[in-house]
Each structure stands twice: as C-alpha cells, then as structure tokens.
Amino acid sequence: MVDKKVDFIIVGTGLAGLAISRELNFRGNSFIAFDNSSQISSYVAGGIFNPVILKRFTPAWKAKEQMEIAIPFYAEMERELQQNFINHWDIYRRFYSIEEQNDWFVAADKPLLAPYLDQNLVKNSNPSVKTDYGFGRVKHTGNLDTEVMLEAYRDQLQKKQLLKAEKFDYDLVKMDGNRIVYKDIQAKYVIFCEGFGVTRNPFFNYFPLHGNKGEYIIIKSPELKLDFAIKASVFIMPMGNDLYKVGATYNNHDKTPEPTSEAREQLEASLKQVINVSYEVVDQVAGIRPTSGDRRPVIGKHPEFENMYCFNGFGSRGVLIAPYLAPKLADHILENSTLEQEIDIARFKKRYFRRN
Ligand SMILES: Cc1cc2nc3c(=O)[nH]c(=O)nc-3n(C[C@H](O)[C@H](O)[C@H](O)COP(=O)(O)OP(=O)(O)OC[C@H]3O[C@@H](n4cnc5c(N)ncnc54)[C@H](O)[C@@H]3O)c2cc1C
C-alpha cells in the first residue's frame, strides 16, 4: 500500500546524490533518499578542488565553469548546515626539470590558466621538503572535508525523515504507468547516484563503468610544517594538527573496498622522495572512483523507462563536477532540455538490451 508520495526517489547520497537532491529541493521538489554506506568514495576523497591537470599543465574539462558553480554551492551549504568544511590552500607543483619550469611559464600565459597558475617560480623555503627545481604555485584551490559535509547533510536529511539508511533493493521496483512504486513509496521519478555501486543495478549496469580504486594514507608529522599542498608523485595535503593526507593511488584492477599494504608501501616510497622528516602512518582509507569507459560523466534517462535517471561517472573529480551537472540534469528532467552528447547516457544506448 502506498503510504508516501514524493516527486523523486534518490538512490545514493555521495557527492552526486547530495548535489542533485539539493538542486531538486531548491526547485520545490520533494524527495526521499536511500543510502546503505556500501560505497565510500565520496567519504574518503581528498575533496580537492583544482581546475588544473597538474601532469600536463592543462585546464581540466569545463574547469572554469565548474569552479564558478561549485565553490558558491558548497559555501551556501556551509552556511545552511552551520559547519566549516571548505579549506583554502595553494597547491605547490614540484618541478622535476628545467623543461617543466619552462612548460609551466608557457601554460601560465594561457588565458584559461592565467587566473590559477602563478607566473613566478617558488623557491623552497621549507627544510623538510626536498626539491632541486622549486615549485609552481596553483591559486584558488583547496579541499572539502567531505566526511564532515556528508555527515552534516545526512543528519539534516534524517532529521527531516528524508533519508532511509538502508539498501535500495532493485528487485522491488514496480513501474505503474508513469509512476514508480517502491515498497510504500510512490514517486514520479527515480535518480540512481550509486557511484561504483551502479554496477549492481540491473537497470543501468549496461554502460561501461570500470571503477578505479584509490587509497590514501594519513600521516602525522609535527616537523613537516606545511600550510600548502604539494603535488609531486603523490599529493601531500595539510589536514591541520600535524596530520596530512598522502595519496592517492590509482588501480584499475582491484575492486575490493579494503586498504592494501601494497598501496601503503607505494605511497610511503613516493612520500620519502619528497620529505626528509619523520612521520607516523595513523590511518589508511580506500574507495572506488566511478570512472566511465570514456572518462566523461554519464547522466540522463533510461533507454526504456521514461522516469528513471542516472547521475554517475564523475571519476576522480566529483567535487567540482557534481554541483555543475546537477542543474543540467534537473533542467533535462523538469524542463525537457537537451543534454550535451558527451555526457548524455544516450551515447551508450546501443549496449542496452530491452528487459523483456
Ligand atoms: C581515494 C580517493 C580520492 C579522491 N579524491 C578526490 C578529490 O580530491 N577530488 C575530487 O573531486 N574527487 C576525488 N575523488 C573522486 C570522488 O570521490 C568521486 O568522484 C565521487 O565520490 C563520486 O561520487 P558519487 O556520489 O557518484 O559516488 P559514491 O561516493 O560512491 O556514492 C554513492 C553512494 O550510493 C550509495 N549506494 C550505492 N548503492 C546503493 C544501494 N543499492 N542502496 C542504497 N545506497 C546505495 C553508497 O552507499 C554511496 O554512499 C577521490 C576518490 C577516491 C577513491
């Protein structure tokens, strides 16, 4: 028996579910969300917002547009939830050669990168850090403490009875004309935001979501004294209280959720190339990034069921991408606007076989 009627059911409250549920709520839609904590990518993420690809000194996909939307979006959440979770710090890209320094200066002159890349070479003034060629400074970057943010948001939803901390069971979904019935809930639409968990979703497991495991170690080092992040072969990110996140790894093969000793060894080996002070590893975390076959987000309508949607494929950049794409998906559902082909799940429709 239907007990509750809502506009949307949202499955997953990671970065994707958070962004789309807030967007729909701003527009006056009701929703109920499900989350069973089966994926923790958003939870363990470094939370870094950085518009520049630091390997090649190129702008990330739609980086400027994403920064313009995402940072005010999270700042508004901070005010509403009365929590601080945005940290602003610069990223210092360690150079490996004179050629890299030259490439940096060329990149820093380009209009899209000029606001972010400092034109001056930064000499190292921290004796705890090793570098022969200095650093390039990336401005207007920082990170979100995603754990604090997600917990505060989920708490708020639970208090309003908008979140069920349980597994969404795909087998119990019933299509009733243009309505979806799930247990005692009737909804106009369902949006699946399960990250790598979508691989278990029989409605959407047809598009290629490979997943990429990432691990961080958390170290304590009172001697390190960094108030900026370093990007070398690893990222070293200040967390306060002499704690630093060091990572992350990229592994396409292992899809298990547990932290591994291999990752820890790899991260420590890289860390020792960058710092020359002692530290203690105090924690290690792992998650699976939802990385699509063509490395673009995967959002939009199910090929067969009109009122089923997917919001996924944010890979290693969910912090900036999710708030940028949430209004686009909301426009698509509510205003029938067209999605850009490169992000529309329709690009994979040939892989879909009808269910009956
Ligand atoms: C180590 C690591 C470091 C990272 N660092 C960064 C970074 O610095 N910056 C950045 O932008 N991105 C980073 N990322 C990537 C970022 O975490 C992802 O892009 C983002 O988390 C994807 O969010 P999501 O909501 O799509 O998926 P998820 O975070 O996986 O969320 C999916 C949610 O759905 C729930 N769920 C799934 N199935 C069900 C079900 N059947 N029933 C109920 N609930 C369900 C899960 O419990 C989960 O909460 C990092 C990722 C990792 C692993």
Asked, for residue 300, whether it belongs to a domain, the answer is yes
- What is the pTM for the complete model shown? 0.97
For residue 236, report the distance from its CA to the centre of ligand 1, in Å.
21
Ligand 1 contacts CB of residue 299 (under 6 A): no
| pLDDT more than 90, % of the chain | 95
pLDDT(354) > 80 = no
Q: What is the distance between the alpha carbons of residues 179 and 307, in angstroms, rounded to a whole number?
A: 8
Query: What was the pLDDT predicted at 115?
Result: 94
Atom of ligand 1 nearest to the CA of 143: 8
CB atoms within 10 A of CB 259: 19
What distance lies between CA 356 and its chain's CA centroid?
A: 35
Q: Residues 78-102: what's their mean pLDDT? A: 96
Residue 356 has pLDDT above 60, yes or no: no
- Non-local CB neighbours of 37 within 8 Å, separated by 6+ positions: 165
Cα–Cα distance, 247 to 45 (Å, whole number): 10
Letter for the amino acid at 354? R
* Beta strands, E only, 221-356: 229-231, 235-240, 243-247, 280-289, 298-301, 308-312
d(CA 162, CA 9): 10
Decide: 297 in ligand 1 pocket, CB within 6 A.
no
Residue 24 lies in a domain: yes
Is the CB of residue 303 below 6 angstroms from any atom belonging to ligand 1? Answer: no
Taking all residues of the chain, what is their mean pLDDT, rounded to a whole number?
A: 95
Q: Is residue 177 part of a domain?
A: yes
Nearest-CA residue for ligand 1 atom 15 is: 316
Per-position b or e across 122-138, b if 16+ CB within 10 A of its CB: beeebebbebebbbbbb
Residue 185 lies in a domain: yes
Which of 235, 309, 316, 324 for mutating ligand 1's site (highest number of atoms within 8 Å of CB)? 316
The closest-lying atom of ligand 1 relative to the alpha carbon of residue 286 is: 1
Q: What is the pLDDT of residues 16-68, one digit of tens each?
A: 999 999 999 999 999 999 999 999 999 999 999 999 999 989 999 999 999 99
Give the pLDDT confidence of 110-131 residue by residue, as tens digits.
Answer: 999 999 999 999 999 999 999 9
The minimum-distance atom of ligand 1 relative to the CA of 37 is 47
Range of the domain at 323: 4-44+147-210+293-351
Question: pLDDT class for 353, splitting at 50, 70, 90?
Answer: confident
Nearest to 207 by CA among 185, 226, 219, 192: 192
Is 112 among the domain residues?
no
**Confidence bin at 355 (pLDDT 50/70/90):** low
The per-residue pLDDT for 34 is: 98
Rg of the chain, C-alpha, whole Å: 21
Identify whether the C-beta of residue 307 lies closer than 8 Å to the C-beta of residue 52.
Answer: no
CB of 246 sitting under 6 A from ligand 1: no
Residue 86 has pLDDT above 70, yes or no: yes
CATH number at residue 25: 3.50.50.60
Please say whether the beta carbons of 196 and 288 come within 8 A: yes
Is the pLDDT at 3 greater than 90? The verdict is no
Give yes or no for residue 211 CB within 6 A of ligand 1. no
Instruction: Report yes or no: 177 and 208 within 8 Å, Cβ to Cβ.
Output: no
Q: Is residue 256 part of a domain?
A: no
How far apart are the CA of 248 and the centre of ligand 1, in A? 14
Tell me the CB-side half-sphere exposure of residue 230, using CA atoms within 13 A: 25
From 236, 245, 278, select the one nearest 135 (Cα to Cα): 236
Q: Is the CB of 259 under 6 A from ligand 1?
A: no
Q: How far, in Å, CA of 14 to CA of 316, rounded?
A: 13
- Ligand 1 pocket, 66 CB below 6 A? no
Evaluate: CB of 319 within 6 angstroms of ligand 1.
yes
- Name the domain count of the chain: 1
For residue 177, the model assigns a pLDDT of 83
> With 80 as the cut, is the pLDDT of residue 138 above it?
yes
Residue 162 within any structural domain of the chain: yes
> What pLDDT, on the 0 to 100 scale, is given for residue 176?
84
Closest residue (by CA) to atom 22 of ligand 1?
318
What's the token pair of residue 242? 């002499």
> Does the structure show a pLDDT above 60 at 70?
yes
In a domain, 80, yes or no: no
Read off the pLDDT of each residue in 173-188 and give the average, rounded to a whole number: 94
